[in-house]
Amino acid sequence: MKIQEKLNLLYKLLDNFYGDLKWWPAETPFEVCVGAILTQNTNWTNVEKAIKNLKEKNLLTYKKLIEIDTEQLKRLIKPAGFYNQKAERIKIFCDFVDKKLDGDILSLKKFSIEDAREMLLSLKGVGKETADSILLYALDFKIFVVDAYTMRLFKRYGVGDYDNYDKCQDFVHKNFRGDLYEYKNFHACIVELCKSYCKKKPLCNFCILKKYCNKNIE
């Protein structure tokens, strides 16, 4: 089977297994952005606590987050870890929304995907995965989000051995026949699958899928 077919089949398997994971779990595009920064190298359950703290005080707008004292912001997002860096990154991001986007993150939709990505990447604290998560889940740009899970999974399934974000993303862009929703759910399924993957458990989701996969592919 061709690699391209294998990649598309992988998504079908995941979609059959998990269905619509309804990513990103957030009420507004702005919340997606804040969540994307907070979740950097951090368990999502910890991020939820931080988001909850912000919501309880009605602080989840760029204006409120610009106004708030940085030390107080640090206390509120503390559960998400790396709170010193993340507080600064959130401040920088909100400043960007205020000064460059006229207060509306959706203004980025006026730009080409390349330009919008460039603008996000220029912000300190926004790397490729964070930028792409914002582009895909907050702005509905059709771009594939790569992470460590993705490259690991692709290697294990034998659809390519990538150790490089751009090359892996490029591979998906060229070979995955999915619409916007499927781009969103593909990444979500990969994360969901890999989170539950454990070497010690013989019948974790990964193994079940792999068996299913082997049976139906080869």
**Shortest spacing between CB 127 and DNA, in angstroms:** 2
Contact between 81 and DNA by CB under 7 A: the answer reads: yes
Q: Which is nearer to DNA, 69 or 218 (CB)?
A: 69
Among 106, 148, 180, 207, binds DNA (CB under 7 A): 148
C-alpha 218/C-alpha 216 separation (Å) is: 6
Please give the size of the binding site for DNA, defined by CB under 7 A: 39
Q: Which is nearer to DNA, 124 or 156 (CB)?
A: 124
Contact between 214 and DNA by CB under 7 A: the answer reads: no
Among 177, 195, 201, 211, binds DNA (CB under 7 A): 195
Part in contact with DNA (CB under 7 A); list of ranges 37-45, 54-62, 175-183, 202-210: 37-45
Is-contact 161 200, C-beta < 8 A? no
C-alpha 198/C-alpha 63 separation (Å) is: 42
Is-contact 121 131, C-beta < 8 A? yes
Buried b (16+ CB within 10 A) or exposed e, 94-123: bebbeeebeeebeebeeeeeeebbebbeeb
Non-local (6+) Cβ contacts of 138 within 8 A are 24, 29, 30, 32, 33, 36, 105
Other C-beta atoms lying within 10 Å of the C-beta of residue 162: 19
C-alpha 78/C-alpha 85 separation (Å) is: 11
Contact between 11 and DNA by CB under 7 A: the answer reads: no
Among 16, 27, 118, 127, binds DNA (CB under 7 A): 127
Contact between 41 and DNA by CB under 7 A: the answer reads: yes
**Shortest spacing between CB 101 and DNA, in angstroms:** 18
Among 28, 43, 70, 216, binds DNA (CB under 7 A): 43
Positions in the binding site for DNA (CB under 7 A): 23-25, 35-36, 39-46, 49, 78-79, 81-85, 123-131, 133, 137, 147-149, 163-164, 191, 195
